[in-house]
Structure formats: structure tokens, C-alpha cells
């Protein structure tokens, strides 16, 4: 085969560029009607009207996918998940339905601590098996690049176990995987009430090992009242930066405590959640070009107010949307739910939501140079939708309308 051609799409719709889109630029999509895409060796060669492509290329010998009546968009990038874990916490969800809060459950020994106990007891083989199953499920929703965090081990051995499983999956699974070390996800029982000593341990005995083994690109911390303070988060992330990790921070999820401001101060790549970010924090994100990764499925599952996406975009921030898929606060990787909540509840436009779920997600993973848009030179990560317009992503509310998923020019999944 000479290559692949996606022919006669009703439209190709994509943000453009090799970096995040900030503020009003999030609305700017490139839309070509009756379009074709030429791919060679997994890389996009040309995107143009079907007529011009037919004129420029001799397509005999190309594998051909007919996209008549279909909208083609970039593969989704889910830039925030915790998908490697043992066990489940369905009972906690039931408790929350009855009025218990996430932090109350955590303080009672449930929450992240419960998943840490279960993950420590789970074998690598089992973590690999369930992780693969979850990646397959994400792929069917059109996710072609995904981030995964550790943070359910909280000791050297179990953190390395989680990240090694991700490394094996990254090698064997067609979905592109980006790993984040999140040893500062909670305080483990061995260090209860000794957060500073636990941070010392991470700095001296864990971070350097993760670095040396090449097990993670990013470092993240749960900066939250009752978990890690601003100062502890600053200490960890500063060292992580010195070692060459990209920085992420779970900021202002449950309380407003200056996490967004800290992300600005450290010029983190992204700040996540931000349900309670202050106006000053939002300004700090915009000024320092920190991507605001918003996770509406978590706000929905916790029945908390949504992050102020409108104010953020109107203040010049780059917003990314992601799932936060995890066994506690959000056991959902549903992209249709993310998009519906973003547009209906957070007042984002459909165009902003598409940019947030593709190019800005890629930028939150330092991948905007290779994925996140449909342009010559980028990887051919493409979704063929069952309908002729990207508007159906929101309009067909909560429904997966992805029909075909193409990663690096390979057709990986067809939904019927
Ligand atoms: O992003 N907030 C911290 N971490 C996850 C929840 C993890 C869990 O509950 O297991 C989050 O919401
Ligand atoms: Fe999270």
C-alpha cells in the first residue's frame, strides 16, 4: 500500500497549530467541506477538498476509507486520568448519594486510601489486564492519546509497579500513553500526620528513581486542604522541575487555597480541576500560559459546582477538557458526557469544547507538535463521526457518535 486516503468526508473540522489555543482563539476551527485526507507512514500529508486531492495525487494503490456523509475530527486527547488501579469503590458512591462528602469518606479511611490498599495487593498482571481493558474502552470513545497517573501505591515499590504497567501498556497498546508520577496523591498510612516527612521521602527516595528509570514525564500533586499544603506542593514540584519533569497540579478542587496561583508561579504545564479557583488564580493561569485542564465529569459525580470555564476563556486562558477517570471521584471516561457538560453547564461553545478535547489536551501533555489537529506533518489520529457535522457531538447528547477511530494512520476501531 502506498498509504491511506480518507475520501469525500462531509467535512473535516479541526483547530490548527502546534501549541495551545488561548481565549477567543479557542473558537477558531478550520472547516473544509467535501474533504479528503492523505496519509503516509502514519503522518498526514495533505488535507484539502476532495477535488483538489484527486487532482494532486494519483491515489491508485492507496488504501481507501470512504467518509461520505461523515464529519472527520482529530482524535480526542484525554489529558488527565488515573486508570491504573486495583478494586472498586461503588459503596462510596452510594454513601455520597446519601450525603457523605468526598473528604469525609477519605478522612474515615476510605477514598484514595482504600484504592491504595487494593492496588498494593493487585499483581502487575492483573493491573495490566484491567488497564488494557480500560484503554480499549477509551479508544472506542475516540480517545487516541491518554495520560495516566500513578498515586495508588504511595511507596516506592507500588508506585514503580503502577508506572511499569503503564510503560508496558505504552509499548503494546496502540493508544498513545503519557505517564505522570503522582506519589503525592495522599499521605500513606506509614506517614499518617507526617506530610512533610512523606514529601522528604518522595524527594530523596522516589522521584530520582522514577527519573532514572524513565517511568514518567510529568509530576503531579494533590494540593488540597487536608492533603498537601501549598508549601509542600511547591517543594515537591520545584524539585521535580529540577529533575526535568513537566509539572501538573490538582488545584482548588475541593477548597480555594491558592493552587491556581501556585501553578502560575511555577509555570506548570497545566493546573487541573480548578472548581474553586479564585479570580486572581485565573489571572495567574492566563498570564503564565498554564493550561486549565477542566474535568466536568468529576464535578458532576461529586455534585459540586462546575469550574468557571467561561470566565477562564474570557480571561485569556487555554482550557483543556479531560475525564479524570478514577475509581473514586469519577468512575467515567465518557467523552460525550464531558462535552455535554462543558457546553450545557459550563457555557463553552461547541468549537471551544472541540479545541479543548483535542489540541489543548495535546498541549497539556506537551504533544501539540505531533497530535491534536488535522494538518500536514501531524500524526494521522482521526475520528470519523456517524453524522455530517461536529455539532452532533453535543446535539446527540451523551451518545458516542464516533464510528471509526484511526491512530497513526491505522484503523483501530469501528463502532456500529
Ligand atoms: O482527581 N483529587 C484527587 N485525585 C482524584 C481522585 C482519586 C480518587 O478518589 O481515587 C481526582 O479527583
Ligand atoms: Fe485527578
DSSP result, 200-246: HHIIIIIHHHHHHHT--SEEEEEE-TTSB-HHHHHHHHHHHHHHT-E
- Give residue 2's pLDDT: 87
- Concatenating the DSSP letter of every residue in 261-307 gives HHHHHTT-SEEEE-TT--HHHHHHHHHTT-EEEE-HHHHHHHT-PPP
Is 328 in the same domain as 384?
Answer: no
Report pTM: 0.98
Question: Is 215 found in the same domain as 187?
Answer: yes
- Which of 79, 80, 82, 302 has most ligand 1 atoms within 8 Å of CB, for mutation? 82
My answer on whether 260 and 339 are in the same domain is yes
- State the cell numbers at 217: 514525564
Distance CA 184, CA 261 (A): 19
> Are 226 and 316 within one domain?
yes
Using CA atoms, how far apart are residues 54 and 326, in angstroms rounded to an integer? 46
Q: What is the CATH number of the domain that holds 8?
A: 2.30.40.10
Residue 386 in grid coordinates: 456517524
Same domain flag for 242 and 254: yes
Query: Could you tell me the distance, in angstroms and rounded to a whole number, from the CA of residue 309 to the centre of ligand 1?
Result: 20
| Residue 395: per-residue pLDDT | 98
Cell of 112: 484514595
What is residue 290's predicted lDDT score, i.e. its pLDDT?
Answer: 98
Residues 62 and 184 grouped into a single domain:
no
Q: 297-327 burial by CB neighbour count: b if 16+ within 10 A, else e?
A: bbbbbbebebbbbeebbebbbbbbbbbbbbb
Cα of 153 vs centre of ligand 1, distance in Å, is 14
Specify whether 16 is located in the same domain as 112. Answer: no
Residue with cell 473535516: 12
For residue 381, the CA-to-ligand 2 centroid distance in Å is 25
Answer yes or no: do 68 and 87 share one domain.
no
Does an H or E element contain 94, and which? helix 90-97
Check the CA dihedral 84-148-28-47 and report its sign: negative
Measured in angstroms, how far is the CA atom of residue 329 from the centroid of ligand 1?
A: 6
154 and 302 belong to one structural domain: yes
Distance from C-alpha of 406 to C-alpha of 334, rounded to nearest angstrom: 19
Q: How far is the CA of 101 from the centre of ligand 2 (A)?
A: 17
Q: Which of 336, 363, 390 is the last residue of a domain?
A: 363
Query: What are the average pLDDT values for consecutive 10-residue runs of the chain, which has 416 residues?
Result: 94 98 98 98 98 96 97 99 98 97 93 97 98 98 98 98 98 98 97 97 98 98 96 98 98 96 98 98 98 98 97 98 98 98 98 99 98 98 98 98 98 96
Grid-cell match 457523605, residue found: 100
Overall domain count for the chain: 2
- Closest ligand 1 atom number to CA of residue 273: 1
Considering the domain architecture, whether residues 268 and 139 belong to the same structural domain is answered as yes
Listed residues 363, 383, 404: the one ending a domain: 363
| Listed residue (324, 323, 252, 255) closest to 290, CA to CA | 252
Ligand 1, atom 1: nearest CA belongs to which residue?
324
Question: What distance in Å separates the CA atoms of residue 166 and residue 240, rounded to the nearest whole number?
Answer: 20
Among the candidates 327, 347, 363, a domain finishes at 363
The answer on 310 and 233 residing in a single domain is: yes
pLDDT value at position 342?
98
Residue keyed to cell 483535542: 358
Give the number of the ligand closest to the Cα of residue 302.
Answer: 1
Helix (H, G, I), strand (E, B) or coil at 41: coil
The beta-strand segments (E) located in 16-68 are 30-40, 43-49, 63-66
Q: Which domain covers residue 395, as residue numbers?
A: 4-74+370-414
Helices (H) and strands (E) in the chain, counts: 17, 16
Cα gap 408→34, rounded to integer Å: 22
Residue identified by cell 471521584 is 329
User: Which atom of ligand 1 approaches the CA of 152 most closely?
Assistant: 10
**Segment (H or E) for 11:** strand 4-14
Rg (Cα) of the chain, in Å, rounded? 21
Q: Please tell me if the CB atom of residue 264 comes closer than 6 angstroms to any atom of ligand 1.
A: no
State how beta strands 319-321 and 291-294 pair: parallel
| CA–CA distance, 406 with 388 (Å, rounded to integer) | 18
- Is the Cβ atom of 324 under 6 angstroms away from ligand 1? yes
CATH of the domain at 350: 3.20.20.140
| One domain for residues 213 and 104 | yes
Could you tell me the sign of the dihedral formed by the alpha carbons of 192, 197, 203, 209, in that order? negative
Q: Which residues pair with 5 in a beta bridge?
A: 38, 64
Amino acid at each position: 500500500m502506498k498509504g491511506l486516503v480518507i475520501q469525500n468526508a462531509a467535512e473535516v473540522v479541526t483547530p490548527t497549530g502546534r501549541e495551545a489555543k488561548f481565549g477567543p482563539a479557542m473558537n477558531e476551527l478550520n472547516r473544509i467541506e467535501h474533504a479528503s485526507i492523505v496519509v503516509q507512514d502514519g503522518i498526514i500529508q495533505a488535507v484539502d477538498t476532495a477535488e483538489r486531492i484527486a487532482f494532486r495525487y494519483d491515489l491508485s494503490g492507496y488504501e481507501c476509507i470512504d467518509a461520505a456523509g461523515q464529519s472527520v475530527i482529530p482524535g480526542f486527547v484525554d489529558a488527565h486520568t488515573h486508570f491504573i488501579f486495583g478494586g472498586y469503590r461503588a459503596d462510596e458512591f452510594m454513601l455520597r448519594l446519601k450525603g457523605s462528602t468526598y473528604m469525609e469518606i477519605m478522612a474515615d479511611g476510605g477514598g484514595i486510601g482504600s484504592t491504595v490498599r487494593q492496588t498494593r495487593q493487585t499483581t502487575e498482571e492483573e493491573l495490566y489486564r484491567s488497564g488494557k481493558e480500560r484503554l480499549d474502552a477509551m479508544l472506542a470513545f475516540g480517545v487516541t492519546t491518554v495520560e495516566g497517573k500513578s498515586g495508588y501505591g504511595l511507596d516506592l515499590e507500588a508506585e514503580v509497579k503502577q508506572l511499569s504497567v503503564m510503560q508496558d501498556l505504552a509499548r503494546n497498546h496502540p493508544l498513545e500513553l503519557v505517564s505522570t508520577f503522582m506519589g503525592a496523591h495522599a499521605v500513606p498510612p506509614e506517614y499518617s500526620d507526617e506530610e512533610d516527612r512523606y514529601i522528604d521521602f518522595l524527594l530523596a527516595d522516589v522521584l530520582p528513581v522514577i527519573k532514572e528509570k524513565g517511568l514518567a514525564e510529568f509530576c503531579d500533586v494533590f494540593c488540597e486542604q487536608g492533603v498537601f499544603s501549598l508549601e509542600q506542593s511547591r517543594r515537591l514540584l520545584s524539585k521535580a522541575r529540577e529533575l526535568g519533569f513537566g509539572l501538573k497540579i490538582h488545584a482548588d478542587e475541593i477548597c480555594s487555597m491558592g493552587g491556581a496561583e501556585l501553578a502560575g508561579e511555577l509555570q506548570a504545564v497545566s493546573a487541573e480541576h480548578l472548581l474553586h479557583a479564585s479570580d486572581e488564580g485565573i489571572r495567574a493561569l492566563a498570564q503564565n500560559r498554564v493550561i486549565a485542564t477542566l474535568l466536568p465529569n468529576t464535578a458532576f459525580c461529586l455534585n459540586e459546582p462546575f469550574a468557571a470555564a467561561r470566565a477562564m476563556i474570557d480571561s485569556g486562558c487555554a482550557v483543556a477538557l479531560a475525564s479524570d477517570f478514577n475509581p473514586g471521584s469519577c468512575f467515567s471516561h465518557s467523552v460525550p458526557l464531558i462535552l455535554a457538560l462543558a457546553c450545557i453547564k459550563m457555557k463553552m461553545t461547541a468549537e471551544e469544547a472541540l479545541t479543548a478535547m483535542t489540541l489543548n489536551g495535546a498541549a497539556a501533555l506537551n504533544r501539540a507538535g505531533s497530535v491534536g489537529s488535522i494538518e500536514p506533518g501531524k500524526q494521522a489520529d482521526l475520528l470519523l463521526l456517524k453524522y455530517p457535522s461536529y455539532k452532533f457531538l453535543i446535539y446527540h447528547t451523551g451518545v458516542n457518535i464516533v464510528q471509526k477511530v484511526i491512530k497513526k494512520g491505522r484503523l483501530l476501531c469501528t463502532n456500529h
